[in-house]
A and B are shown apart, each in its own frame.
Chain A
């Protein structure tokens, strides 16, 4: 490793194991969001408010989404919202304390002892950054869902699922690519000390 200040290395298979579990959870959350109120139409309300003389109001109501008509408590009790909230909290845990995060601990306790020891160790900072990206994406979905924006939740969980799946199955790291783009935009990292 070129940097001497790099922290202690971790088994690179740990983050991929965690990413597989996260991907499955995100797939479940996406399915629940797709069949839940986030994508539902408020068609039945249209019949009740139907007035023959007011075509435009009928068209608007009959064509509108269900989610904005629910209360915030109803939006928050959507099973998809609850599952995504749990996933977001797990992301937060991994960002704040990667050593104690449940999937990493499960890997070290139950999986790693059954495998050959790692041939190489990995820098723990990139997976931690990736967890932060996952936290940001799912949090945006949760907030927009609470604000009553239809489709926000399944789109956010689907994006996070794609990233976790590519990491788990193809060992591709979208965060690596994103990091350099953010850095070149001046949002992260320090500029050159020339």
Chain B
């Protein structure tokens, strides 16, 4: 391969990588609204109870570099609001929970409403505003119903 062709392949590699990065970042801030069918049992996750109004359920592993950052964001969001609880579950030694919730990446964040029903799912590291917006929607819906 001559120098020009090599440079072309390199430029294509850069473009694809930037594209993948932008797509992944866009997807991380996109909440996926789920069919409210699953009710989470807090005992199974090693917690006493869930939040009164909503629960931010985070799944992490020991080898996850972005999980502590998401942990701080979610913890501070929950701390600012009454009745909102942040629950961080380490899946490193619990493949059964990972399988049950179909977790393929960490961090994964679920927003549960006051009844413990899974309403929203975020894969990856969502921004603070994306989580706050979705949390407001979940708590407002539950209050209005």
As a 0/1 sequence over residues 92 to 104 of chain B, the CB contacts with chain A under 8 angstroms (1 = contact) are 1111111100011
Give Cα A127 to B67, complex, Å: 12
Which single residue of chain B is at the shortest CB-CB distance from A169? Answer: B21
Size category of the B interface is 35 or more
- A34 adjacent to B91 (CB under 8 Å): no
Known A34-B9, A173-B66: A3·B103 in contact at CB below 8 Å? no
Stretch at the interface among B34-42, B56-64, B135-143: B56-64
Residue numbers in A under 8 Å from B18 (CB-CB): 169
- A177 adjacent to B104 (CB under 8 Å): yes
Known A183-B98, A191-B93: A175·B7 in contact at CB below 8 Å? no
Give Cα A32 to B10, complex, Å: 10
Which single residue of chain B is at the shortest CB-CB distance from A164? Answer: B17
Contact of B66 among A39, A171, A183, A193 (CB under 8 A): A171
Cross-chain pair count, CB within 8 angstroms: 128
Residue numbers in B under 8 Å from A175 (CB-CB): 63, 65
For the complex, would chain A's binding face be called helix, strand, loop or mixed by DSSP majority?
helix
User: Closest 3 A-B residue pairs measured CB to CB?
Assistant: A126-B65, A170-B21, A34-B6
How far is the CB of B82 from the nearest CB of chain A, in Å?
23
- A180 adjacent to B98 (CB under 8 Å): yes
A122 near B: Cβ within 8 Å? yes
Residue numbers in B under 8 Å from A154 (CB-CB): 9
As a 0/1 sequence over residues 30 to 42 of chain A, the CB contacts with chain B under 8 angstroms (1 = contact) are 1100110001100
Residue numbers in A under 8 Å from B96 (CB-CB): 192, 194
- A180 adjacent to B10 (CB under 8 Å): no
As a 0/1 sequence over residues 90 to 122 of chain A, the CB contacts with chain B under 8 angstroms (1 = contact) are 000000000000000000000000000000101
A81 near B: Cβ within 8 Å? no
Contact of A126 among B10, B21, B63 (CB under 8 A): B63
- B90 adjacent to A3 (CB under 8 Å): yes
- A125 adjacent to B62 (CB under 8 Å): yes
For the complex, would chain B's binding face be called helix, strand, loop or mixed by DSSP majority?
helix
Residue numbers in B under 8 Å from A63 (CB-CB): none
- A170 adjacent to B24 (CB under 8 Å): yes
Which residue numbers of A lie inside 8 Å of B, CB to CB? 1-3, 6, 12, 15, 27, 30-31, 34-35, 39-40, 120, 122-123, 125-127, 129-130, 154, 158, 161-162, 165-166, 169-173, 175-177, 179-181, 183-184, 186, 189-194
Which residue numbers of B lie inside 8 Å of A, CB to CB? 1-3, 5-7, 9-10, 13-14, 16-18, 20-22, 24-25, 60-69, 71-72, 88, 90-99, 103-107, 124-125
- A173 adjacent to B17 (CB under 8 Å): no
Which single residue of chain B is at the shortest CB-CB distance from A2? Answer: B88
Which single residue of chain A is at the shortest CB-CB distance from B95? Answer: A184
Known A176-B105, A183-B98: A12·B69 in contact at CB below 8 Å? yes
How far is the CB of A153 from the nearest CB of chain B, in Å?
12
Give Cα A32 to B18, complex, Å: 21
Give Cα A130 to B65, complex, Å: 9
